[in-house]
Structure 1
Amino acid sequence: MFVIVVYDVQVKRVAKVLKVCRKYLYWVQNSVLEGEITLADFEELKRDLKRIISPETDSVLFYTFRTTRYTERISIGLQKGGEDRFL
């Protein structure tokens, strides 16, 4: 499946959330990651993030797509992030 993750977390947790997400997805912009992921890895990602965030103050959104066949990403301006992942 293809997943887009958007997060808004307290400053002290931003680096931790980004590090966990980059294990599975590509960073494309501040607080936004995307990429292909297996269902098992997606469940693991959600579980890892639940351990880090504070549900009272933080927010993480997941947009899931079965396929990218009918999707398109158009970028204008400065392109941030890239196609590399860090393990």
Structure 2
Amino acid sequence: MYVIITYDVGEKRVNKVCKKLKEYLTWTQNSVFEGEISKSLLMKCMYELELIINKEEDSIYLYQVPNPKNIKKQVFGQERNFDELFI
């Protein structure tokens, strides 16, 4: 399945959340990750994120797209893939 994950977390946890999401998805913009992932890996990823965040202060939004052909993505301006910056 295709997913998009966005997050808004406390400054102390931003790097940990970003690092964890890089293990599973592609970093496309600040606080935004997306990509293909199996249900089991998604469950593992979300469990690991729950161990990092403070549920009283932080938020993570998970958008699941069962059929990525149904999503139309338009980029205005420069399209970035942050993962490529570090290769």
TM (norm. structure 1) is 0.90
Please list the CA deviations of residues 29-79 of structure 1 after superposition, one character each: whole Å capped at 9, or x if unmatched: 000000000001000000000000000100000000111111111001132
Which structure shows the higher helix fraction?
A: 2
User: Runs of 4+ in structure 1 displaced over 2 angstroms?
Assistant: 78-84
CA distance, structure 2, for counterparts of residue 44 and residue 38 of structure 1: 10
Matches of residues 1-87 of structure 1 in structure 2 within 5 Å? 1-82=1-82
| Structure 2 spans left out of the alignment, 5+ residues | none
CA distance, structure 1, for counterparts of residue 53 and residue 67 of structure 2: 28
**What number of residue pairs does the alignment pair up?**
85
CA distance, structure 2, for counterparts of residue 17 and residue 83 of structure 1: 15
Letter in 1 for 2:70: Y
State percent identity of aligned pairs. Answer: 38
TM (norm. structure 2) is 0.90
